[in-house]
Amino acid sequence: MNSADRTSTPRSRRERPAKAALSRDGIVSAATHILRTEGLGKVTMRRLAKELDTGPASLYVYVRNTDELHAAVLDELLAEVDLTPAREASGDWRERLTRLLTSYLEMLFRHPSLARSALTVHPAGDHYLDLVEALLVLLREGGVPDARAAWGVDLLLQYATATAAEHAGDDQDTMDAARTAITTASPARHPELARLADVLVAGGGSGRLNWGFAALIAGITAAPEPPLADS
């Protein structure tokens, strides 16, 4: 047998390295890697099975569907959120709450393909619970009653998530068209819009974001008690 024959001989399965055993943590880790390198659109059961050298059916033992997988990936990335504002002993609680929410927003900005999905997926892992705990700690420090704080967390996270999702899909031409439509609106048909056109398009970046957080925090603080009996 010549050398060409030897190199073309298939290796026995016994000679191949054993595959790592599947686990939920390993699946989520691989999915997170795909997100970072290829985007959320590639985080599918088929692509993940290829990454892990297994069949898609094997993954369903650990993850029920793609939505649950995306939620688990989001929870994994929530580890990037800086929770230290909730552990600081000094400083205005509203400012620290805004810093924490901004850190959450910045995490979504780093992963724009995940931002829109974050509006609909529902993480339930430890990192999500850590984030909610930190928000509740700061709201309690500010004297916000328990029920308002509990429901207020949803509003704060929804605002931050929606802001990230909006910017993830930013198209400059579309934004310019919307701005032009506002600033050239007919005073006869839209008198209030025309009167406030300059204000409507003014500001941006951190200024608008921080004002939004401030408005929500003030609203949660002053809002009536939630109708818990109706839930």
Residue range 107-134, pLDDT digits in tens:
999 888 888 889 988 899 999 999 999 9
Give the model's confidence band at 172: pLDDT under 50 very low, under 70 low, under 90 confident, else very high. Answer: confident
**Predicted structure pTM score:** 0.84
- pLDDT for 18 equals 53
| Residue 163 belongs to some domain of the structure | yes
| Domain CATH number, residue 151 | 1.10.357.10
Interacting residues of 36 by C-beta distance below 8 A, sequence separation 6+: 111
| Domain CATH number, residue 46 | 1.10.10.60
Residue 198 and residue 90 share a domain: yes
Q: What residue has token string 């990230």?
A: 164
| Residue 74 belongs to some domain of the structure | no
Residue range 31-50, pLDDT digits in tens:
999 999 998 889 999 999 99
Label residue 59 exposed, middle or buried (CB < 10 Å: 0-12, 13-18, 19+): buried
Higher pLDDT: 13 or 67? It is 67
Residue 43 and residue 119 share a domain: no
Residue range 45-81, pLDDT digits in tens:
999 999 999 999 999 999 999 999 999 999 999 999 9
| Sign of the alpha-carbon torsion through 67, 70, 72, 78 | negative
Interacting residues of 101 by C-beta distance below 8 A, sequence separation 6+: 135, 156, 157, 160, 213
Domain residues for the domain of 100 are: 82-226
Residue 202 and residue 136 share a domain: yes
